Amino acid sequence: MSGINTYSTFVANRGHLDDQMQRENQFIVDQINAEQDVINKIQYADSEGEFILPIKEHKGLDKYMYNQEDDTSLRKYLVFGVQWISLVTENLLSHPFIVLRRQCQVYNASKRYHLHPFTLLPSIVHLHRRQGLTTLWKGLGSCLLVRGMGLAVDDVISKLTSWPKDVNSNTTLKRFGQHVLLKCISIALVVPFHAASLVETVQSDIASEKPGLFDVFREGSLRLFFWSYPQKGRMLPAWALIGPSVSLGVTKYLFNLVIRGVSSRIMLRKQSHMQENVGSKSCDDTLEHKNLEIYGNLIATLTTEVIFFPFETILHRLQLQGTRTIIDNLDNGYAVVPILTNYQGAVDCYQTTIISEGYGGLYKGFGAMILQFAVHIAVIKMAKWIVTQITEGISNRPPPCIVQYYNLDCVAGKSSSTALSSSISSTEVDAPIEERML
């Protein structure tokens, strides 16, 4: 009887132990499930505290994580790209229109003035058919060499005299005067080489020998040291060209400087006013400032070229006189004509042009300049659109993510799970869930 009671007691105790082990196992399972539910409710919050997606739904997190250093580097590359496009447009893409414009300016006997682009288009087509498209790029190398020479002369004079080669709003009046004097000397030294480059730009390819790359230095040097009237021909001496060239060059430079400063300030103030009205301000205005700088330079260049176009026509005719240059006849685009003039100076050139050609003669080739700036503006607009699309793509990426947990009390069995940490680092997010639970 006692054995039966002992066996009954053993069976009862074993059943109690089995129930206790099942409850403990169930508690462990519920505890794990509760913590897993809390982890699944982890949400990513941006800097404003707005939750985005749970971790299990936010797939490809590494792909969309915001990287401030990469974004800054990309913006630097975009700024460099904008500068490069503007430089290429100004020095390369505009050159064919400069060639057409100068050929119109120096041809005193032309019947068509080409004051608008439509009369110039047929001549361009005829030139292309007869000589090829490369004829519009003649003299490009010499033009770039002369521009580089001007920058080099500025730098050398600045180092020898400590005069500033650049000015800004903080420059004193004395330093500004030294800067203007530096520009005068630089323009005077480059004038003969600019005249030699002008010849290479306007002469016809089919009626002249192609010049060598460094012929502009040889011709410019000969003209630089040629200070007296020639025994033969009508070529003006260097001193007769330096006066008008320096006067026009310095005046254009100062006018461009003023217009660029005024236009940049107006656009910058307008941008600041718009940002104040919207109530937001970009943390990185580098691209926008670069756009304003480009548009300010474009406005200043366009205004300066339009106002000083007649004076440039007179100067180019004086520089080309006596060089025995043969140019393409842009009245039809087929024939070639020699340039034969006999001006005694800038005043005589102006009076002769007004008498024989009228005031419109001072604006010959104005249509080519319209084409030049139309293409320039189109390229800038396209570049700005591309940069805008890229920056918008950058802005649409999620900002720096801060991972936060809800402090949820998860009751499992007889006890509640402890609240997890309020935040974890991004490296913890990338770690496996099993490692974070340990």
Question: pLDDT tens per residue, the chain (438 residues)?
Answer: 555 555 455 545 555 666 666 676 666 767 666 666 655 555 444 444 444 444 444 444 444 444 555 556 666 666 677 778 878 888 888 999 999 999 999 999 999 999 999 999 999 998 888 888 788 999 999 999 999 999 999 999 999 999 999 988 888 999 999 999 999 999 999 999 999 999 999 999 887 778 887 889 888 888 877 655 544 467 888 888 999 999 999 999 999 999 999 998 888 888 888 877 766 555 456 667 777 888 888 899 999 999 999 999 999 999 999 888 999 999 888 889 999 898 988 999 999 999 999 999 999 999 999 999 999 889 888 887 887 777 777 666 555 444 444 443 443 444 444 433 444 344 444 444 444 443
Query: Which pTM does this prediction carry?
Result: 0.72
What amino acid is encoded at 362 in this protein? L
Radius of gyration of the chain (CA): 38
β-sheet bridge partners, residue 320:
none
Burial of 199 (0-12, 13-18, 19+ CB in 10 A): buried
Burial of 17 (0-12, 13-18, 19+ CB in 10 A): exposed
Supply φ then ψ for residue 360, to 5 degrees: -65, -20
184 vs 422: CA distance, rounded Å:
69
Count of CB atoms within 10 A of residue 97's CB?
24
Buried/exposed 54-82: b ≥16 CB within 10 Å, e otherwise: ebeebeebeeeeeeeeeeeeebeebbebb
**Two structure tokens written together for 71:** 């974004």
Specify the pLDDT at position 41: 52
